[in-house]
A and B are shown apart, each in its own frame.
Chain A
Amino acid sequence: MTVGPRSRLHELILANEFVVTAELPTTDSADPSSVHEVADVLKGYVDAVNCTDNSTAHPHIAPLAAAHLLIDRGIEAIQQFACRDRNRLALQADLLGAAALGVRNVCLMTGDDVIAGDHPEAKPIYDVDSVHLLRIARIMRDDGTYLSGRALTGPPSFLIGAVENPFAPPQEFRPMRLGKKIEAGAEFVQTQICFNVPAMRLFMARTGDLGLLGRVPVIGGVFVMRSARAARYLRDSVPGLDVPEDVVQRIEAASPDRQAEVGVQIAVEIVQQLREIDGVGGVHLMAIKNEEGLLRVIEEAGLLPRPSVTSSSIAS
């Protein structure tokens, strides 16, 4: 069945545009302006913004609320769903609710373990895994039912995304896992932060060997570092990241007042190298308290202006 574009992001993907997404800095405020302010900064620089789901297992503003506040400001949201905190009932309820509140893209993942967060004593859920959740979302959207088979009276129409980490062991299996996620229903994939471009090339080559190249756009994660401290934090404290020593040394070699500049340069270079890899369909930018650096990367990597789309054709 052919439908119109499900979202602005979908329309850009169909037009083979190199897409730019960014992560919304987590907020811990009940004041809606905490999201609105970031939205106004990012507007015009990115095609869609990810609303994380209790990232690194720390509670933050609910992603559904954040997504809704972004949409209020005319920014397209990608709402993330982690399997860590909710069982299959709650996940389906929230998927439906997100669609009802105007969320047009969802991104489904396992989630960092509670042990990594500030509530390590919490009970983790993990009722279903990310592959299950992808298929559940497809069932709701395409078959118009819950997992149980009970009918929805109005199915959602969102675009469904997944994540993958090309840089974590077992690296040879990662492309097959991507294949499982595509088979389960993923329509775009956002990757973990890339500092090791050769590893990304290898991942994409293996993906090609499996015949998966071009099936879904792989949106490469890029982090904009503000200091050498950030580089060391990513290397030492974020499980699953591969931060090569030369990256850390390069930013450490700069004087403290120049480190943010070097962080931007490194990110710009990675964006440009990712863009050359066959099958990479965009970049997903992340930063911690460094929106200025993030905007500079988008500008200096030549990603502006962002293409406009005819939003009237988007399916409702």
Chain B
Amino acid sequence: MTRARLDRRPAASAAPPRGLLRRSVLALERRVKEDLWDCRMCGQCILHSTGLSCPMRCPKNLRNGPCGGVLQDGHCEVLPDQMCVWVQAWRSSTKLPIWRHEMRHIQKPVDWRLQETSSWENLFTRRDGHAPKAWREHVGTGSPRS
């Protein structure tokens, strides 16, 4: 079964913002980013690290690159009539004048509490920078010899 659009985002858990300014920021961000990038309002935007291809459009919500199921023509295994979000991300990231290398950065796990909040506000208040304690403090990389 194929569907033109598959939206697996969770329901918002945060209360709607209070005050005209905060509500305006949220409305503006939603309007601009939904139209331009089919943004899913995760509230912790990493668009600039993903070639301006919203990773939350990936049916598996992958934040660190494509899964192994991408079809040979570059289409999504879940939505075979659509291009893989990460194939698009890779192609457009190579054309970006800046941020190109950010495709190689490890992105932290999603904070699902931020769904339907404004990533602009969260950036300003630094709320989107929060990572679980052990994630922040962990050092070291893999190799069977280390």
Contacts and interface: CB of A to CB of B under 8 A. Distances in A.
Contacts of B65: 131, 173, 176-177, 180
B7 interface: no
B120 interface: no
Given A138-B140, A170-B74, A110 B109 contact: no
A184 B141 contact: yes
Contact of B66 (A13, A127, A170): A170
Chain B binding surface SS class: loop
Interface string B119-146: 0000000000000111101101111110
Contacts of B72: 168-169, 242
Given A120-B1, A168-B70, A173 B138 contact: no
B69 interface: yes
Interface in B76-131: 77-78, 84, 86-87, 90-91, 103-104, 106-110, 112
Interface residues of B, number: 45
A240 B78 CA distance: 12
Contact of B70 (A124, A181, A239): A239
Interface bin, chain A? 35 or more
A13 B104 contact: no
Interface of B: 1, 8, 59-74, 77-78, 84, 86-87, 90-91, 103-104, 106-110, 112, 132-135, 137-138, 140-145
13 contacts: A130-B64, A142-B140, A148-B134, A159-B144, A164-B68, A169-B87, A170-B86, A170-B90, A184-B141, A184-B142, A185-B141, A215-B143, A240-B68
